[in-house]
Amino acid sequence: DQQVKQNSPSLSVQEGRISILNCDYTNSMFDYFLWYKKYPAEGPTFLISISSIKDKNEDGRFTVFLNKSAKHLSLHIVPSQPGDSAVYFCAAVDDYKLSFGAGTTVTVRA
Amino acid sequence: NAGVTQTPKFQVLKTGQSMTLQCAQDMNHEYMSWYRQDPGMGLRLIHYSVGAGITDQGEVPNGYNVSRSTTEDFPLRLLSAAPSQTSVYFCASSYSRLQGYTFGSGTRLTVV
Protein backbone atom coordinates (compact mmCIF):
# COMPACT_ATOMS: atom_id res chain seq x y z
CA ASP A 1 0.00 0.00 0.00
CA GLN A 2 1.62 3.21 -1.18
CA GLN A 3 1.99 5.75 1.60
CA VAL A 4 2.98 8.55 -0.78
CA LYS A 5 0.84 9.21 -3.82
CA GLN A 6 1.25 11.46 -6.82
CA ASN A 7 -2.07 11.20 -8.58
CA SER A 8 -1.11 13.11 -11.72
CA PRO A 9 1.18 11.00 -13.90
CA SER A 10 1.89 13.90 -16.24
CA LEU A 11 1.76 17.68 -16.50
CA SER A 12 2.22 19.89 -19.55
CA VAL A 13 2.96 23.59 -19.04
CA GLN A 14 3.97 26.48 -21.23
CA GLU A 15 7.41 27.99 -20.78
CA GLY A 16 7.32 30.91 -18.36
CA ARG A 17 4.14 29.75 -16.59
CA ILE A 18 3.82 28.08 -13.21
CA SER A 19 4.08 24.31 -12.74
CA ILE A 20 2.24 22.89 -9.73
CA LEU A 21 2.92 19.31 -8.70
CA ASN A 22 0.90 17.63 -5.98
CA CYS A 23 1.59 14.86 -3.50
CA ASP A 24 -0.54 13.19 -0.82
CA TYR A 25 0.58 10.97 2.03
CA THR A 26 -1.07 8.74 4.60
CA ASN A 27 1.58 8.14 7.28
CA SER A 28 1.43 10.68 10.12
CA MET A 29 4.93 9.63 11.24
CA PHE A 30 6.57 11.29 8.24
CA ASP A 31 8.61 14.19 9.59
CA TYR A 32 10.38 15.41 6.49
CA PHE A 33 9.47 15.70 2.83
CA LEU A 34 11.62 16.03 -0.25
CA TRP A 35 11.26 16.56 -3.97
CA TYR A 36 13.54 14.95 -6.52
CA LYS A 37 13.97 15.52 -10.23
CA LYS A 38 14.97 12.76 -12.60
CA TYR A 39 16.14 12.75 -16.19
CA PRO A 40 16.13 9.54 -18.26
CA ALA A 41 19.08 7.19 -17.62
CA GLU A 42 20.19 9.24 -14.61
CA GLY A 43 19.66 8.97 -10.89
CA PRO A 44 17.24 11.32 -9.11
CA THR A 45 18.68 14.65 -7.99
CA PHE A 46 17.57 16.44 -4.85
CA LEU A 47 15.58 19.64 -5.41
CA ILE A 48 14.08 20.95 -2.21
CA SER A 49 12.84 19.74 1.18
CA ILE A 50 10.56 20.78 4.00
CA SER A 51 10.30 19.83 7.64
CA SER A 52 6.93 18.82 9.06
CA ILE A 53 7.09 21.78 11.44
CA LYS A 54 7.03 24.26 8.56
CA ASP A 55 4.41 25.02 5.95
CA LYS A 56 6.57 26.59 3.25
CA ASN A 57 10.12 26.46 1.96
CA GLU A 58 11.47 28.44 -0.95
CA ASP A 59 14.63 28.05 -2.99
CA GLY A 60 14.91 30.18 -6.09
CA ARG A 61 12.24 29.15 -8.58
CA PHE A 62 11.11 26.26 -6.40
CA THR A 63 8.67 26.49 -3.49
CA VAL A 64 7.28 23.59 -1.51
CA PHE A 65 4.08 23.95 0.51
CA LEU A 66 3.00 21.55 3.24
CA ASN A 67 -0.53 21.18 4.59
CA LYS A 68 -0.23 18.72 7.49
CA SER A 69 -3.91 18.62 8.31
CA ALA A 70 -4.69 17.56 4.75
CA LYS A 71 -1.56 15.39 4.49
CA HIS A 72 -0.75 17.17 1.26
CA LEU A 73 2.26 18.90 -0.20
CA SER A 74 2.89 20.68 -3.45
CA LEU A 75 5.84 21.90 -5.46
CA HIS A 76 5.59 25.17 -7.38
CA ILE A 77 8.06 25.98 -10.15
CA VAL A 78 7.98 29.58 -11.33
CA PRO A 79 8.76 30.36 -14.09
CA SER A 80 8.91 26.99 -15.82
CA GLN A 81 11.86 26.51 -18.16
CA PRO A 82 12.59 23.91 -20.87
CA GLY A 83 15.26 22.31 -18.67
CA ASP A 84 12.55 21.57 -16.09
CA SER A 85 11.13 18.84 -18.34
CA ALA A 86 11.75 15.70 -16.27
CA VAL A 87 10.08 13.28 -13.87
CA TYR A 88 9.48 14.70 -10.39
CA PHE A 89 9.25 12.47 -7.35
CA CYS A 90 7.82 13.37 -3.99
CA ALA A 91 9.41 11.53 -1.04
CA ALA A 92 8.74 11.34 2.69
CA VAL A 93 11.00 10.38 5.61
CA ASP A 94 10.00 8.13 8.49
CA ASP A 95 12.97 7.36 10.74
CA TYR A 96 15.67 6.37 8.22
CA LYS A 97 13.36 5.27 5.45
CA LEU A 98 12.35 7.19 2.35
CA SER A 99 9.01 6.48 0.71
CA PHE A 100 8.53 7.73 -2.84
CA GLY A 101 5.54 8.57 -4.93
CA ALA A 102 5.20 7.16 -8.44
CA GLY A 103 6.34 10.39 -10.06
CA THR A 104 4.91 13.11 -12.31
CA THR A 105 6.34 13.69 -15.77
CA VAL A 106 6.56 17.41 -16.50
CA THR A 107 6.80 18.67 -20.07
CA VAL A 108 7.53 22.35 -20.61
CA ARG A 109 6.32 23.58 -24.01
CA ALA A 110 8.05 26.43 -25.84
CA ASN B 1 34.44 13.40 -9.07
CA ALA B 2 32.76 13.09 -5.68
CA GLY B 3 29.52 11.16 -5.70
CA VAL B 4 27.94 7.72 -5.73
CA THR B 5 29.35 5.18 -8.19
CA GLN B 6 27.35 2.14 -9.23
CA THR B 7 28.65 -0.79 -11.25
CA PRO B 8 27.73 -2.34 -13.58
CA LYS B 9 25.42 -0.01 -15.52
CA PHE B 10 23.71 -2.90 -17.32
CA GLN B 11 23.44 -6.59 -16.54
CA VAL B 12 21.55 -9.55 -17.92
CA LEU B 13 21.19 -12.60 -15.69
CA LYS B 14 19.63 -15.98 -16.10
CA THR B 15 17.06 -17.14 -13.59
CA GLY B 16 18.80 -18.65 -10.58
CA GLN B 17 22.11 -16.89 -11.06
CA SER B 18 23.56 -14.74 -8.30
CA MET B 19 25.39 -11.45 -8.57
CA THR B 20 26.48 -8.39 -6.62
CA LEU B 21 25.65 -4.82 -7.53
CA GLN B 22 28.41 -2.54 -6.37
CA CYS B 23 27.94 0.88 -4.78
CA ALA B 24 30.66 3.19 -3.54
CA GLN B 25 30.61 6.77 -2.27
CA ASP B 26 33.51 9.08 -1.49
CA MET B 27 31.65 11.72 0.53
CA ASN B 28 32.07 10.03 3.92
CA HIS B 29 28.29 9.69 4.21
CA GLU B 30 26.95 7.55 7.02
CA TYR B 31 23.57 6.80 5.45
CA MET B 32 23.34 4.55 2.41
CA SER B 33 20.42 2.78 0.82
CA TRP B 34 19.30 0.72 -2.16
CA TYR B 35 16.13 1.30 -4.18
CA ARG B 36 14.50 -0.33 -7.14
CA GLN B 37 12.45 1.58 -9.67
CA ASP B 38 9.65 -0.14 -11.54
CA PRO B 39 7.21 1.46 -13.99
CA GLY B 40 4.34 3.25 -12.26
CA MET B 41 5.66 2.51 -8.77
CA GLY B 42 8.30 5.10 -8.07
CA LEU B 43 11.33 4.00 -6.07
CA ARG B 44 11.00 1.36 -3.38
CA LEU B 45 13.47 0.88 -0.55
CA ILE B 46 15.20 -2.52 -0.48
CA HIS B 47 17.78 -2.18 2.32
CA TYR B 48 19.47 0.66 4.10
CA SER B 49 22.41 1.32 6.42
CA VAL B 50 23.00 4.03 9.02
CA GLY B 51 26.71 3.31 9.35
CA ALA B 52 29.40 0.68 8.94
CA GLY B 53 28.26 -2.63 10.38
CA ILE B 54 24.60 -1.58 10.62
CA THR B 55 21.97 -2.58 8.05
CA ASP B 56 18.22 -2.98 8.05
CA GLN B 57 15.41 -4.00 5.74
CA GLY B 58 13.29 -1.67 3.73
CA GLU B 59 9.99 -2.17 1.97
CA VAL B 60 10.99 -4.94 -0.47
CA PRO B 61 13.97 -6.87 0.99
CA ASN B 62 13.13 -10.42 -0.09
CA GLY B 63 15.72 -11.96 -2.41
CA TYR B 64 18.39 -9.40 -1.56
CA ASN B 65 21.25 -9.25 0.95
CA VAL B 66 23.47 -6.35 1.96
CA SER B 67 26.49 -5.74 4.14
CA ARG B 68 28.36 -2.58 5.18
CA SER B 69 31.91 -3.37 6.17
CA THR B 70 33.21 0.12 5.35
CA THR B 71 31.69 3.60 5.23
CA GLU B 72 32.37 3.82 1.51
CA ASP B 73 30.86 0.60 0.15
CA PHE B 74 27.37 -0.87 0.27
CA PRO B 75 27.02 -3.86 -2.10
CA LEU B 76 23.64 -5.43 -2.91
CA ARG B 77 23.58 -9.19 -3.49
CA LEU B 78 20.96 -11.06 -5.45
CA LEU B 79 21.00 -14.59 -4.10
CA SER B 80 19.05 -16.40 -6.83
CA ALA B 81 17.82 -14.06 -9.53
CA ALA B 82 14.16 -14.16 -10.57
CA PRO B 83 12.38 -12.39 -13.47
CA SER B 84 10.51 -10.30 -10.85
CA GLN B 85 13.85 -8.70 -9.99
CA THR B 86 14.10 -7.14 -13.43
CA SER B 87 14.31 -3.46 -12.56
CA VAL B 88 16.51 -0.39 -12.36
CA TYR B 89 18.47 -0.29 -9.11
CA PHE B 90 19.67 2.90 -7.47
CA CYS B 91 22.10 3.34 -4.63
CA ALA B 92 21.99 6.54 -2.57
CA SER B 93 23.91 8.14 0.28
CA SER B 94 23.49 11.06 2.67
CA TYR B 95 25.29 12.53 5.69
CA SER B 96 22.02 13.05 7.52
CA ARG B 97 18.67 11.32 7.41
CA LEU B 98 16.98 14.68 6.89
CA GLN B 99 19.15 15.83 4.02
CA GLY B 100 18.71 15.06 0.37
CA TYR B 101 20.23 11.79 -0.67
CA THR B 102 22.77 11.69 -3.51
CA PHE B 103 21.87 8.98 -5.99
CA GLY B 104 24.04 6.94 -8.30
CA SER B 105 23.19 6.70 -12.00
CA GLY B 106 21.61 3.28 -11.62
CA THR B 107 22.05 -0.34 -12.72
CA ARG B 108 19.57 -1.71 -15.24
CA LEU B 109 19.11 -5.41 -14.49
CA THR B 110 17.26 -7.88 -16.68
CA VAL B 111 16.60 -11.43 -15.49
CA VAL B 112 15.61 -13.88 -18.23
Nearest-angstrom CA–CA distance, A42 and A54 = 31
SS3 letters for chain B? Answer: CCCEEEECCEEEECCCCCEEEEEEECCCCCEEEEEEECCCCCEEEEEEEEECCEEEECCCCCCEEECCCCCCECCEEECCCCHHHCEEEEEEEECCCCCCCEECCCEEEEEC
Contacts of B100 in chain A (CB under 8 A): 34, 36, 46-47, 49
Residues of B with CB under 8 A from a CB of A: 4, 31, 33, 35, 40-45, 48, 50, 56, 58-59, 90, 92, 97-106
- What would the mean pLDDT of A22-36 be, rounded to a whole number? 95
Who among B44, B45, B105 is closest to A42 (CB)?
B105
Contacts of B31 in chain A (CB under 8 A): 96
CB B76 within 8 A of CB B23: yes
Contact B44 A49 (CB under 8 A): no
- What pLDDT does A80 receive? 98
Is the pLDDT at A1 greater than 90? The verdict is no
- What would the mean pLDDT of A77-97 be, rounded to a whole number? 94
pLDDT in tens, A34-84: 999 999 989 999 999 999 999 999 999 999 999 999 999 999 999 999 999
Nearest-angstrom CA–CA distance, B64 and B81 = 9
pLDDT by 10s per residue, chain B, length 112? 679 999 999 999 999 999 999 999 999 999 999 999 998 888 999 999 999 999 999 999 999 999 999 999 999 999 999 999 999 999 999 988 677 899 999 999 999 9
- What pLDDT does B42 receive? 87
